[in-house]
Structure 1
Amino acid sequence: MADRIFMSPPDVTAAEEEAVIRAFRGGWIAPLGPEVDAFEKELAEFCGRDHAVALSSGTAALHLALIQLGAGPGDVVVTSTMTFAATANAIVYTGAEPVFVDCDDTGSMDPDLLATALAELAEQGRTVRALVPVDLLGKVVDHEATGRIAAEHGIPVLSDAAESVGATRNGRPAPAYGVAAAVSFNGNKIMTTSGGGALLTDDADMAARTRYLATQARQPVVHYEHVDVGYNYRLSNLLAALGRAQLERLPQMIDRRHAIRRAYIDLADDLGGVTVFGLPDASEDGSTRDNAWLTSILIDEQKSGYTSGDLQAHLAGLDIEARPLWKPMHLQPVFEDRTAFVNGTSERLFRTGLSLPSGSAHDEATIERVCEAIRTFAETPR
């Protein structure tokens, strides 16, 4: 029986193994150490930022940034509805209320709808502490438009770049936008530290405060002294070593994911009612390029004769993992009573979209197995 094909498994090699062994033999098994320091420096440089703080997750990065932007009970934080729950959860951790804004056809926050949302919230006298746009599946948000709208209202932008490390927009790395950006190194991301994330910023005070809060807000004295509530949010030295090896290989891993995407583009061109989501994924001059973290297709049932759910079930029966695009936050039971400005686009993408195996560890034979499974299903008379 063929092995199960996962959607985005970790891509690790001997380089990562050697890095972890190096850290282990260095004796820094305790949470922090020289690998963390080096990883932060290399990551900041790669992402076009002055500072990086390595943390236990991208969620932790969002949480600590929102705290420093003053989010708390009675406040509002505006974010994308087309995202993973971690974005909204981090807002709720602070006591603030998430307000959701729908996307346009790219999957990114709709600037016109954002302008409407901020205008209505201002009329209501609501205090909006931050705007948190989300880079969906590796494509960078239209920060020029959303940033201009936020600036008109005096609202800082915190970029959720959890899915877009390695992507660029107009020559700038994805995490270079906003007063700060949160990135994720979860096991299924474009690069991984097993679990982990980071906060990136040009603000030295924010970086220092993040480190302080992430290490239980311990005061610099011999005994344990605390004047603030802190969190156990730092990345370990061993995992930072893994991250350094992954960061070095990241450009090649992104190229591999784009090659996989091209295979799916060729497949979709041969099938009726199937399109690859998020195209174009790069500008002609190369200044804008998504990282191809996940390749997703959209299925028009009227033209294809089947739904994304039908295809997902077929692939599951062949031990091939595929998932719908994110279920919008305003449809999630835990958030369905929150304020949302919607236009129906995210609901349509959730209903018709399907993310396919996209991991850079997949070889050509594996991707061909996926393509053949899709082709056979699509061509089966109904």
Structure 2
Amino acid sequence: MTEVDSFSAPRTATIRDAMATINASGMQMLLLVDEGGRFQRTVTDGDLRRLLLAGSEMGDSLERLPDLKSVTAPEEVTRKAALALMDANEINHLPLIDGEGRVVRVLNRRDIGAPILLSTPHMGEAELYFVEEAFRTNWIAPLGPNVDAFENEIAALVGSKHAAAVSSGTAAIHLAVRMLGVKPGDRVFCSTLTFAASANPIVYEGGEPVFIDSEPDSWNMSPRALEQAFDAAKAEGWLPKAVIVVNLYGQSADMDPILEICNRHGVPVIEDAAESLGARYKGKASGVFGLMGVYSFNGNKIITTSGGGMLVSDDEALIQQARFLATQARDPAPHYQHSQIGFNYRMSNILAGVGRGQLQVLEQRVEARRAVYDAYREGLADIPGLAFQPEPEWSYSNRWLSALTLDPEVAGSTASEVIRRLADEMIECRPVWKPMHLQPVFSHCRHFAHGNEPVSDRIFDQGLCMPSGSNMSPEEIARIIDAMRGALKAR
């Protein structure tokens, strides 16, 4: 390659010529090759100085250089392995050698790049203003003007009448479950393809989750499976206390049929929109269809407060009760008095300030993540056996994570193999959520499938999540696509 030829030299080259080559290339080294172009060793300006100190002249050739086994790697070396070689040998350049012993490329430490993570926080400028305001006014503890404003701004954004800012999305779900009166022995229907935080609060209150499968059109709760679960419950003489519907990876579930089923049976819906702030269902904000909705502002979410959540509802009494429970259920008395058990779940004024700043760029963050998803779809469109999480016509996903499935019989690789290969290229991919009905801690719980075979099981077996950060550069996205194609041997 011309690039390699520009800083290669034979042993017949003079020291002067070698120094000129090093200076011109900017590589701080040159490649010593034999007459056939096969690699012999690297040469640095330090090597040349040692020759001169030993009595050589500038016009002398490089014949006096001793043989040296330089550190090299095969041309197919992974970024992770290359970096490990560089670190172990304290070098910044690594020649990559083909099967005939020729250098095809020299990998520079800076070319390896930083690891690309799944979903990193993307901070702007407005956050600092609100945080500094909290410091200036000494509103550091939980509650304060930022908390009140953040609640109002979220409610206005999504079209809900009321909101309560809390310490996490999990806390918001727990408060919702508590307020709906879940007690030991009660059952709650819950999406199975989700993170454990959707189901754990049921158990906090002594209830028992009953898991509902996904449908293939959105990967979210299957109305068909939900109907079967209600039919089974009625036949056995009971009904669930609530239904927790999860909007997976930033995409709303098909809420109309789910609400029709739940309303017919008089069972309230908690909408777990932890991942879907900024998404829409039939033009309406995700998270406001149930009796209560939940958002998360964890560090990896579409916007973040580093840790935090929000409970929304049109029912003012529920939100007032949530705030009461979240501040240790302190009674309105002149002394500390408690008539029921509460929780330390309220959001701090500082973190709410971060959230207010983040909220100003929510639309841009959604657009950026959707652009990442679109780039993956275009760059990987020709790979057989690869299918992205679908977006039905009624959905506008925030694409919090770009998720896909790989059919191993068609693609020639499993999702777990691809995840390992991309990890070798310092790219973080993750499996999709392991369905709750497959989790050891919930193995005793019932599960209702969409059809003969659970849809969520297949998605878990074949699914993976790609890096989806709104702050990724075009170069990083291209690097991920190239690595993905390499992992699947697509050309």
Task: Identify the TM-score tier after normalising by the shorter chain.
Answer: over 0.9
Aligned to 1:289: 396
Among 461, 464, 468, the residue aligned to 1:354? 464
**Is it true that 1:136 corresponds to 2:251 in the alignment?**
no
Among 163, 168, 174, the residue aligned to 2:286? 174
DSSP-derived class of the 1:147 partner: helix
**Is it true that 1:215 corresponds to 2:327 in the alignment?**
yes
**Is it true that 1:50 corresponds to 2:168 in the alignment?**
no
Question: Which has the larger displacement, 119-128 or 246-255?
Answer: 119-128
**Is it true that 1:265 corresponds to 2:352 in the alignment?**
no
Matching of residues 1-382 of structure 1 within 5 Å: 1-105=112-216, 106-280=218-392, 283=393, 288-342=395-449, 343-379=453-489
Distance 1:192 1:124 in 2: 43
Distance 2:178 2:457 in 1: 31
Deviations 1:283-338 (A, max 9, x none): 4xxx7411110001211111111111111000111111101111000000000111
DSSP-derived class of the 1:23 partner: helix
Compared with structure 1, are the counterparts of its residues 346 and 288 closer, same or farther at alpha carbon in structure 2 (3 Å cutoff)?
A: closer
Letter in structure 2 aligned against 1:305: G
Aligned partners of 1:80 and 1:134 also within 8 Å: yes
DSSP-derived class of the 2:482 partner: helix
Letter in structure 1 aligned against 2:472: H
Letter in structure 2 aligned against 1:266: E
Q: 5+ residue gaps in structure 1?
A: none
Coordinate RMSD, CA, aligned: 1.3
Distance 2:424 2:196 in 1: 27
Compared with structure 1, are the counterparts of its residues 206 and 257 closer, same or farther at alpha carbon in structure 2 (3 Å cutoff)?
A: same
Letter in structure 2 aligned against 1:293: W
DSSP-derived class of the 1:217 partner: coil
Aligned-residue offset at 1:279: 3.3
Q: 5+ residue gaps in structure 2?
A: 1-111
Aligned partners of 2:383 and 2:490 also within 8 Å: no
Letter in structure 2 aligned against 1:370: I
DSSP-derived class of the 1:227 partner: coil
Aligned partners of 2:387 and 2:405 also within 8 Å: yes
DSSP-derived class of the 1:355 partner: strand
Distance 1:70 1:328 in 2: 26
Compared with structure 1, are the counterparts of its residues 159 and 180 closer, same or farther at alpha carbon in structure 2 (3 Å cutoff)?
A: same
Aligned partners of 2:303 and 2:362 also within 8 Å: yes
Distance 2:458 2:248 in 1: 15
Distance 1:8 1:63 in 2: 25
DSSP-derived class of the 2:187 partner: strand
Relative contact order, CA 8 A, sep 6+: which one is greater? 1
Aligned-residue offset at 1:14: 2.4
Aligned-residue offset at 1:380: 6.4
Letter in structure 2 aligned against 1:39: F
Distance 1:94 1:132 in 2: 15
Distance 2:124 2:283 in 1: 30
Aligned partners of 2:179 and 2:318 also within 8 Å: yes
Aligned partners of 2:241 and 2:268 also within 8 Å: yes
Aligned-residue offset at 1:137: 0.6
Letter in structure 2 aligned against 1:345: V
Query: Which protein shows a greater Rg?
Result: 2
DSSP-derived class of the 2:350 partner: helix
TM-score, with normalisation over the residues of structure 2?
A: 0.75
Aligned-residue offset at 1:27: 1.1
Letter in structure 2 aligned against 1:313: R
Aligned partners of 1:75 and 1:126 also within 8 Å: no
Aligned partners of 2:391 and 2:397 also within 8 Å: no
Aligned-residue offset at 1:150: 0.8
Aligned partners of 1:268 and 1:275 also within 8 Å: no
Letter in structure 2 aligned against 1:108: N
Aligned-residue offset at 1:63: 0.8
Aligned-residue offset at 1:339: 1.0
Distance 2:130 2:475 in 1: 29
